Structure 1
Amino acid sequence: MARPVWSGVLSFGLVSIPVGLYTATDTHTIHFHQLQRGTSDRIRNRRVNERTGKEVDAKDIVKGYDTGEEYVIVEPGELDDIAPGRSQALEITGFVGLDEIEPIYFDRTYYLAPRGKEYAKIYSLLEQALGRSEKAGIATFVMRQHEYLVAVKAEDGLITLHTLHWADEIRNPKEEIGDLPGKTSTSGKELRMAEQLIEALSMSWDPGQFHDTFQEKVSALIEAKKSGESVEKAEPAPKPSPALDLMEALRASVEGARSPKDSREKATTRGGGSQRTAKKPAGKKRVPSSEKGADPQTMNKAELYKKAAAAGIEGRSTMTRDELIQALADRRQAA
């Protein structure tokens, strides 16, 4: 059972509920230790006095604000003293429509739970009222010496709390990005084609369909290195579409999104005028390009890597497709 990261009282009007705040999300990031190269010795960070070079105990460390001329010293307890009671209060000051809060303001998500079975009815009442009204309660509270602006909303039978960015924390894109294009001139045909692509790629939101492939590759890299194997390098990122090829890129994308088979047939029809695509002779099987004797020039990088692994070519995990072709050619000549 998880422990609350904060406990206090949630109040709206004259109604109050003792609640606990629980972390709603987790990270699957793989963490590494820092080691000195060539050894298994861990690297440690220590709190050191920059003038004397001596390590300082945590109880002897205070906060200091640099005014430019001197440091203003602030003791840990003084930060709690300037907000008496507020570190235990979560008071909703008003309610807003869920669609009024722009996504850029949302930061982290927490679960709110009642601290005692006797408060279950009040908790359920607030959850149902928030859900039916499609509104979120706006509140502020103090946690770990920081004040947070939050939105409290109903979600799947429970109450969630979302920390929000303060208005002055949102950066102005026009000040941050010097070359924003704004609304540039586009043709009606380009716009319709872009809309068709969006429609063709539209889907129902299911977060379970997506997973962190990079972390999976990091895990695979670790396992491969444990067993002395090498891992294939990822393909380079696709190049941006040239402006002159925009319409063709959009058209090909729409056709590819609708059906790869239809896309190939349409492309053949356009290239051959009114001629129909010839049918393939029946009974013939496609010979995989990775089979022995196949021309390496016709293979993709994955097939080349598999062939290089079978040939025992060292350093293949760092090679590009062209380098793999050359390495295989050199191996054939050496044989």
Structure 2
Amino acid sequence: MEATPPTPMRTDWRGTVSFGLVVLPVRLVAATEEHRGRFREMHSGCGGRIRHKRVCEVEGPQEEIPYGEVGRAVELPDGGLVPITDDDLARLPLPTKHTAQVLGFVPGADIDPISYGRAYYAAPDGPAADRPYVLLTEALAGTGYVGLCKIALRQRERLAVLRPRNGVIVVQTLLWRDEVREPGDLSPATPVTDRELQLAELLLSELTGIEMQKLDDEYGHALEQLVAAKIVGSEVPELPTPQPAVDLLAALEQSVQAARRSRE
């Protein structure tokens, strides 16, 4: 299966970042892209390809609506639709459409990673932005702070942090507080012994030093094997499922020994 080609870096947002009286013109480009196997929908009964049609509830399903005639609307409680055009959205009275006002700075460790959303690289937009851009980048790197701001992206206003990465400012969106679910009673109340905790901490220290750049996504290769096997009518061997240790203490001791041997 062919690898997905990288997506060209197009500008997703253009505006200014302001902190205090300093105004920094920037443009944002997506910092990440996902690579995944592309599946098609099919009718499991006959194997035919399933396609979706755009139809109108008023005119009926006989004729597909051209994409150019598809608009957007807000649905009212009674089911009525209020059309919203691109011009309407352009006139939306939202300051964060074009200005990301830094509300303040906090230590990066204060941001719970569960809140992190999509990341964008911020590039200086014009020569006049170069000096304040470098200044903010180096100040963030030197202090360990991140800037907290609000910004309107993809037709939504979000919280975001400004943080440095390899000399570049990253604008990373955050989930709102009510978008993060609490775990409830998922955590068990089972106690552990001091020896078990000591061995677990020792095992963690033995398993440090992972080289992240050498880790690869194996999903695409596994999907290729599955497709090739199905074409010729063979089976892909199933991998064994790891089973919980019966003796936790013994499993910890053996794991520490195996980790040490792997380093020799």
2:32 aligned with 1:32: no
Question: How many percent identity over aligned positions?
Answer: 31
Partner residue of 1:190? 196
Partner residue of 1:204? 209
Partner residue of 1:221? 226
How far apart are 1:170 and its partner, in Å?
A: 1.0
2:51 aligned with 1:44: yes
CA change 1:185–1:224 in 2 (3 A) is closer
CA contact under 8 A between 2:29 and 2:122: conserved in structure 1? yes
Post-superposition Cα deviations, 1:172-214, rounded to whole Å, max 9, x if no partner, equal 111xxx44314x322222222222222222x224211311122
1:241 to 231, 240, 245: 245
Supply the distance in 2 between the matched residues of 1:60 and 1:120 (Cα, whole angstroms). 41
Paired residue secondary structure (1:33): coil
Q: How many residue pairs align between the two structures? A: 253
CA contact under 8 A between 1:4 and 1:20: conserved in structure 2? yes
| Equivalence map 1:69-84=2 (5 Å) | 69-71=78-80, 73-77=82-86, 78-84=88-94
| Equivalence map 1:291-306=2 (5 Å) | none
CA contact under 8 A between 1:80 and 1:145: conserved in structure 2? no
Paired residue secondary structure (1:220): helix
How far apart are 1:39 and its partner, in Å?
A: 8.2
Partner residue of 1:272? none
Paired residue secondary structure (1:204): coil
CA contact under 8 A between 1:149 and 1:166: conserved in structure 2? yes
CA change 1:214–1:102 in 2 (3 A) is same
CA change 1:84–1:197 in 2 (3 A) is closer
C-alpha RMSD of the superposition:
2.8
Paired residue secondary structure (1:128): helix
CA contact under 8 A between 2:42 and 2:50: conserved in structure 1? yes
| Equivalence map 1:154-169=2 (5 Å) | 154-169=164-179
| Equivalence map 1:1-335=2 (5 Å) | 2-36=9-43, 42-50=49-57, 52-54=60-62, 55-58=64-67, 59-67=69-77, 69-71=78-80, 73-77=82-86, 78-174=88-184, 178-182=185-189, 184-201=190-207, 203-223=208-228, 228=232, 230=234, 232-242=236-246, 245-259=247-261
Letter of the 2:40 partner, please give it.
H
Partner residue of 1:286? none
How far apart are 1:159 and its partner, in Å?
A: 0.8
Partner residue of 1:275? none
- More strand per residue: 1 or 2? 2
Listed as ranges, the gaps of 5+ residues in structure 1 are: 263-335
Post-superposition Cα deviations, 1:86-131, rounded to whole Å, max 9, x if no partner, equal 3111221211111111111111111000112332122111111111
- TM-score, normalised via structure 1 length: 0.67
How far apart are 1:219 and its partner, in Å?
A: 2.7
Supply the distance in 2 between the matched residues of 1:66 and 1:28 (Cα, whole angstroms). 37
- More helix per residue: 1 or 2? 1
Partner residue of 2:5? none
> Which structure has the bigger radius of gyration?
1
- TM-score, normalised via structure 2 length: 0.83
CA change 1:193–1:4 in 2 (3 A) is same
Post-superposition Cα deviations, 1:67-87, rounded to whole Å, max 9, x if no partner, equal 2x4435242344443335531
How far apart are 1:229 and its partner, in Å?
A: 7.5
Post-superposition Cα deviations, 1:126-149, rounded to whole Å, max 9, x if no partner, equal 111111121111111112211111
Partner residue of 1:317? none
Supply the distance in 2 between the matched residues of 1:104 and 1:143 (Cα, whole angstroms). 20
Bigger RCO (CA 8 Å, 6+ sep): 2
